[in-house]
Structure 1
Amino acid sequence: MADLRKVARKHIEDLVKKGLSPDEAALQAAKSVYAAATSMPGVQSVAAISVAMSQSSLIDFDAPPQKATVPTKRPKKRTVAEHLDDALKARKQPQLAGIPNKGVSKKTALDDIADAVQERKNTEKMLTTVAGMQQMEMSLFQVAPWDDDLRAIPNDLGRSAVFTTRNKATKRVACEDKLIYHYNQEIEITYTGIELRADDDELVWQQILEYAKHSPLGQNVEFTLYQLCIDLGWHINKFYYNRALSCLKRLKATCFSIKSPRHCTLKNLSLLGDFDIEKDGNKKAVCKAHLDPFLVVLFANDHYSKVMWSKYRTISPTARRMFDYFVTHANPYPLKLETFCLICGSESTRIKKWTEQSKAAGKELMDVGLVEKTWVEKGYIHCIR
């Protein structure tokens, strides 16, 4: 209800006129709102109640009656949002205006409200944090430093099927709110855009991050297509210039929603913002690109991994996706062949063929020295870093 807060304020005013103190009136109003949300689900929307409770500092369950006339130091008030947090942890409904606590085991409407309140808190905290980092002109390197001979990948992308290994001859799929596979079921990634592949899009994005790592968050970064091709190990000709440009266009057209227990939901996140090419078609064509400042959230708290660029960029897409998974774990657990197939976004349906492809990818990693040992046994891929 859009007028929920207005109704609550008027209710408080009416109770004060009847002789209650403002704190006592706020308590009664809180109980009324709380009871409406829990005893009659659907009367109020979860979103409206979460907004009202997270913003209503007047509503307090622990406020003592105002008996003393001499000002005394009072304990810190606990808001409804804090009570919701406690209820969520305890997974039970507190006593409200005489309503008995039945203690249901399933997730209740109260839990949904508490989740919505927490999500709102996390979102506000993230917005404030990233805005503060921009104001201080902090760079990605200050959050997630890596040496110039290395490149970085967020663990959430390394363990998911954001970059696929489908055959070059297969046309890329156009995705609309597609649920992307992630190794961790607690993390939910949805994607709108053209299918991204490990063969080129992943490499181009990692190299752009390298160009941008010392620039203040949200500011443009400049590089030439010539330098981009050199750093990727691609030939210098029209074909590879066009290939690089196609990757930039696909990366710009990405739209991700990433929900993780580590942070609030990142919405409308693009791997590359606006970009402009000056002197297009020329060897010195300059690209001015913008990176979304909220990408920093994916790297926060050391939740990223580093790869040796001179070796990483030379391996096949399947080997690269296998290493993406292994490098994001200090001691990798054995990986099911079926799970690895999902991480690669592969359409392979023949188990024997996929087993041979996985063995070849593992041998590739050992040959270039990215891992000490890897092997396939009883349907699992094993690795020693």
Structure 2
Amino acid sequence: MADLQNAAQALIKELVQQGLTPAEAAEQVAKSAYASATALPGMQSVQAIAAAVAAVDTDVIDFDSPTPQAAEQSVKAPASKAAKTKKRTVADHLDQALVEQKQPELAGLPTKGGKKPARTVVDDIADAVQDRKDSAKMVATVAEMQQLEMSLFQVAPWDDDLRAIPNDWGRSAVFTTRNKRTKRDACEDKLIYHYNREIEITYTGIELRADDDELVWQQILEYAKHSPIGNNVEFTLYQLCTDLGWHINEFYYKRALSCLKRLKATCFTIKSPRHSTLKNLSLLGDFDIVKVGKKRAVCNAQLDPYIVVLFANDHYSKVMWSKYRTLSPTARRMFDYFVTHAAPYPLKLETFRLICGSESTRPKKWAEQSRDACKELEVVGLVQKTWVERGFIHCLR
């Protein structure tokens, strides 16, 4: 790998001296490396080529120009480049949030769109290079947001009577509806079902459930939304139980504390076209419980700063808290899915079962549970109408 990087950087430097820009030179080197892959052992790895090219501090490489057809093709003559605008990524969105913080007068300026070119094998190299650059940019951007003491609210604002849920969470089985009498699974790199097959979520930790963990996490987001990203936030267990609509007694205090422990012990890896791979993401960072008085337990908690990535690009939805928190777990998961779509397509009952992480093996029983959830959503007024028909769940928002 080191030899490949050194060779790539040396050739890029030579091409720059001949008059190419660093981005153009890096592009030609990557294309030539790919064209030579069948002739030179050790060059076949897309990731190896990407790592070598990404190691160079250049702008985004444009792979839209003609690809070399043979190893002997010269890299000294720059290929003609078609006009192309880079796809807007989560890192770009967070970067834009920084711009708006530093220069508010630039907020709201239109951004250019680009037509996606026909995909070729060399695009794998481009994607790998871009993923590495996006990862580095995301790390730097989140760090700068912390330095500027920016808040989650500046990226994803919601009113105090609402709560927020990332769309990827609403369309996946991160929070399950399994029976509360069933012991929670201990997961290790478990692949979590997601409605979109392009998104891959793996999870290590104790199974999270919609009945309590989902509500506790959303309420902590509410407490932390105005605080600088990654900073500690304080709240009492009394306040948490009150805001959740739970009774104020020892049982619910212990339940809230158990949720906090499970949320802290979470570890997610998320691969998505929206952003570079997120690794080791925890829903709750470190926290501590301090006893103040006889019945006042204060929680000092911290959110993982990379939580902001889940909400970037407006990829989150808002729910009416006073109604949402009263729903049964199945109805809540159904609404999680509906609220992430402006006009939800009919949802297969089996797909909904997978989103719920349900172990139901009787289709008729699951259909009846889904009908009950539909009625519940209509009664509380969160949807106009929803019903089950011919194996599908329909909804009018």
CA spacing shift, 1:113–1:270, aligned 2, 3 Å: same
- Structure 1 residue 187 displacement after superposition: 1.1
Structure 2 residue aligned with 1:94: 68
* Separation in structure 2 between the aligned mates of residue 273 and residue 339 of structure 1, nearest angstrom: 32
1:187 and 1:261 in contact (8 A); partners too: yes
State the Cα deviation string for residues 144-194 of structure 1 (Å, max 9, x = none): 111111111011100100000000011101111111111111111111111
Structure 2 residue aligned with 1:288: 300
1:219 and 1:291 in contact (8 A); partners too: yes
Structure 2 residue aligned with 1:130: 142
Structure 2 residue aligned with 1:263: 275
2:166 and 2:310 in contact (8 A); partners too: yes
Q: Per the alignment, in what secondary structure is the counterpart of residue 257 of structure 1?
A: strand
State the Cα deviation string for residues 99-124 of structure 1 (Å, max 9, x = none): 59xxxx9964x343222101112112
Structure 1 residue aligned with 2:162: 150
Q: Does 1:327 align with 2:339?
A: yes
2:9 and 2:53 in contact (8 A); partners too: no
CA spacing shift, 1:372–1:10, aligned 2, 3 Å: closer
- Structure 1 residue 12 displacement after superposition: 8.6
The percentage of aligned residue pairs carrying the same residue is 74
Match of 2:231 among 219, 238, 242: 219
Match of 2:153 among 126, 141, 148: 141
CA spacing shift, 1:144–1:41, aligned 2, 3 Å: farther
Q: Does 1:23 align with 2:2?
A: no
1:225 and 1:283 in contact (8 A); partners too: no
* Separation in structure 2 between the aligned mates of residue 365 and residue 258 of structure 1, nearest angstrom: 30
Structure 1 residue aligned with 2:388: 376
Alignment of 1:1-385 (within 5 A): 1-8=1-8, 22-23=17-18, 30=29, 33-37=33-37, 39-40=39-40, 42-43=42-43, 45-56=45-56, 82-83=61-62, 85-86=63-64, 93-98=67-72, 108=121, 110-279=122-291, 282-385=294-397
CA spacing shift, 1:57–1:291, aligned 2, 3 Å: closer
State the Cα deviation string for residues 245-295 of structure 1 (Å, max 9, x = none): 110010001011111111111111100001011118942111111101111
Amino acid at match of 1:379: G
Unaligned runs of 5+ in 2: 75-117
* Separation in structure 1 between the aligned mates of residue 216 and residue 371 of structure 2, nearest angstrom: 26
CA spacing shift, 1:21–1:199, aligned 2, 3 Å: closer
* Separation in structure 2 between the aligned mates of residue 242 and residue 363 of structure 1, nearest angstrom: 32
Q: Per the alignment, in what secondary structure is the counterpart of residue 61 of structure 2?
A: helix
- Structure 1 residue 372 displacement after superposition: 1.1
Query: How many pairs are equivalent?
Result: 349
* TM-score (norm: length of structure 2): 0.81
* TM-score (norm: length of structure 1): 0.83
* Separation in structure 2 between the aligned mates of residue 198 and residue 10 of structure 1, nearest angstrom: 55
Q: Per the alignment, in what secondary structure is the counterpart of residue 310 of structure 2?
A: helix
